[in-house]
Each structure stands twice: as structure tokens, then as C-alpha cells.
Amino acid sequence: MKKRKAVSKAAKQRKKKAAAKPTMAEQARLAGNEITQSSAFRRATVDAEFYAGDPKRLRKLVEDALGKINVIPRGPFGDTWPYLLAMIRVVRDYHRAEYRDMPAPKLLIIIAAIIYFVSPFDVIPDWIPVLGHIDDAFVVSLALKSVRSDLDTFMAWETARIWPTR
């Protein structure tokens, strides 16, 4: 019969802490689930279809988004900031019937992300400095996973309009 090594109390406590503390990836996944399962996110995804079919609501959404990007900090958005701006522009150009090469499901994802972004009442209320925009940035990054190539195509189209080839 083998003898078991004695385990110190400190080692037991470290082991217990390590088992209870989720990794950074798990924390991000849990936070993502909390946001995507929130009533605010679900409402935004349902409302996206109504916005897409109503030019007045779509125009108002673009106006609200443009107003908000001028007063919020860019920090929480990091590398997604230019794509958030592109999302707003593609919805604006769709509303103006200038750009229609966005597949409908992708357009709905973009509209839902902008609805969530504009809403002050989401998982973390926007009136909480800096923290209030972290969930907005997370939703934009989630949407970006699905629509990045379509937004790249849109931005190339924009550039070609400005700098036409001869």
C-alpha cells in the first residue's frame, strides 16, 4: 500500500481557487452569453427586420447612431471602431438606395448591432462611464465576425466611388 503525500492547507486552497476561477476565455464566453441572451439584444435582433422595412425608422436609426458616435469614447471599441462607422454608413447607403449589394441576413445583423449600440438601456447602461460602452463594443465585435468581409467589400465600393479608376 502506497502512502499518500500530505498536502498542505495552502496547496489545497490554491487548488480550490484555481478550480473555481474561470479562465479569460471562459469569462469572455460567459459575458458574451449574458449579452446575447439579454432581452435588449434579443429585442434588437427582432426589431432589425422592422427597421429594414421602414425607411423612416432606418433613417432615424442612422441619425441616432451618428449622434452617439460623436459623444462616446472610442477606447472600448478598439480595432472595431472603423467597422462600426462602416456599419452605420452601409445602413445609410442602403436607406438611400445607393448600396444594395449587402445580403439581407448580413444587413439584419448590422442593423441589430446598431440598434443595440444606440439603445441606452442594454446589459450595461450607457450612462455608466466607459463600462457602459463595453457591451456595445462586444455586440459590434460579435456582428463583425459575421459581416467583416461584406463590410470590406462595402468599403472597397466606397473607395472606388471616391477614387474611380480610369
- Note down the domain range covering 97: 31-162
Q: Using the structure block, give the residue that is written with the C-alpha cell 459623444.
A: 71
Which pTM value belongs to this model?
0.75
**93-133: pLDDT as tens digits:** 999 999 999 999 999 999 999 999 998 877 777 788 767 78
The CB density around residue 71, as the number of other CB atoms within 10 Å, is 6
Q: How far apart are CA 146 and CA 131, in angstroms?
A: 24
Whether residue 23 lies inside any domain: the answer is no
Are the beta carbons of 29 and 62 closer than 8 angstroms? Answer: no
Whether residue 139 lies inside any domain: the answer is yes
Whether residue 84 lies inside any domain: the answer is yes
Whether residue 49 lies inside any domain: the answer is yes
Of 16 and 70, which is predicted with more confidence? Answer: 70
Whether residue 24 lies inside any domain: the answer is no
Whether residue 50 lies inside any domain: the answer is yes
Whether residue 7 lies inside any domain: the answer is no
**136-150: pLDDT as tens digits:** 888 899 899 889 999
Whether residue 78 lies inside any domain: the answer is yes
Q: Which helix (H) or strand (E) holds 70?
A: none
Q: From 93, 109, 114, select the one nearest 149 (Cα to Cα).
A: 109
Mean pLDDT of the chain: 81
Number of domains in the chain: 1
Residue 43 pLDDT greater than 60, yes or no = yes
Residue 3 pLDDT greater than 50, yes or no = yes
The predicted model gives 24-29 an average pLDDT of: 39
Tell me, what's the pLDDT at 31?
Answer: 42
Report the share of the chain in percent with pLDDT over 90.
Answer: 49
